[in-house]
Amino acid sequence: MKKLFVVLAILIFAQSAKAQLFNTERLANIENFDEKKISWGYYLGFNSFDYKFKYKENNPDENADVQVTGEGGFNVGLIGDVRINNYINIRLEPGLSFTKRNLVFPGFEEEKDYLREVKSTYIHIPLLVKFSTKRLNNFKPFIVGGFSTSFNLSSNEDHPEDNASGQFRSISNSLNYELGFGIDFYLFFFKFTPSIRGVFSLSDELVRDINPNSSWTGNIESMSSRGVFINFTFQ
């Protein structure tokens, strides 16, 4: 996933640089597309999630922290875009995101104690502001930012058991902020947009164990999701 992030970033910046160097006017595809007040579309993409932990008492040994490994997931959703002016758009992008994270807790010898698999299915609803440059020939770079809420359909927040019984729990709803960039490509019949976006939770998503001195959650002050989305949009 990190390699995909780097490759896509290089491609986006390379295209933008090429535009600045070779800015001869060409035949514009779907020339009046951006004049629409409201437009619609859909997206497909990939994601990679992990957790950021804060501890009540920091341990100088990093191996004593919870280790998180993420597996690549995927995204699918719809887009509603409202044009404010030539450079600013408001976007609503409701969708589904599927992901999996593995947590390894220190201090245990048996896998049933130290390993927790966290599978998540999010209803992800971002409200974003898109700031674009002037269109140059058939592409236009942009940056985007805003806030989102995520509803975890796989949450076990209300499960009566906790880690002592092998049950890792997290909350069902979180608030996030998002930042990203991308580039609009105007093709003959539609607009195609690759983009990269970081998603950072503002919520503490951990549900503590019943025992306040739990070896799993007792020293954790907060646990927040972090994710990278690589989306391909069609409008």
pLDDT band with cut points at 50, 70 and 90 for residue 13: very low
pLDDT above 70 covers what percent of the chain?
A: 86
Q: Which amino acid is at 210?
A: I
Indicate the burial class of 158 (C-beta count within 10 angstroms; 0-12, 13-18, 19 or more). exposed
Q: pLDDT of 34-80, one tens digit each?
A: 889 999 999 999 999 999 999 988 765 566 789 998 888 999 999 99
Q: pLDDT of 187-213, one tens digit each?
A: 989 999 999 999 999 999 999 999 999
Q: pLDDT of 46-57, one tens digit each?
A: 999 999 999 988
**pLDDT at position 10 over 70:** no
Q: pLDDT of 106-141, one tens digit each?
A: 888 888 889 999 999 999 999 999 999 999 889 999
**pLDDT at position 19 over 70:** no
Q: What are phi and psi of 118, to 5 degrees?
A: -115, 105
pLDDT band with cut points at 50, 70 and 90 for residue 8: low
Residue length of the chain: 235
Domains of the chain: 2-23+35-234 (2.40.160.20)
């939770």: which residue's tokens?
201
Name the average pLDDT for the chain.
87
**pLDDT at position 233 over 90:** yes
Report the range out of 22-26, 89-93, 116-120 with the highest average pLDDT. 89-93
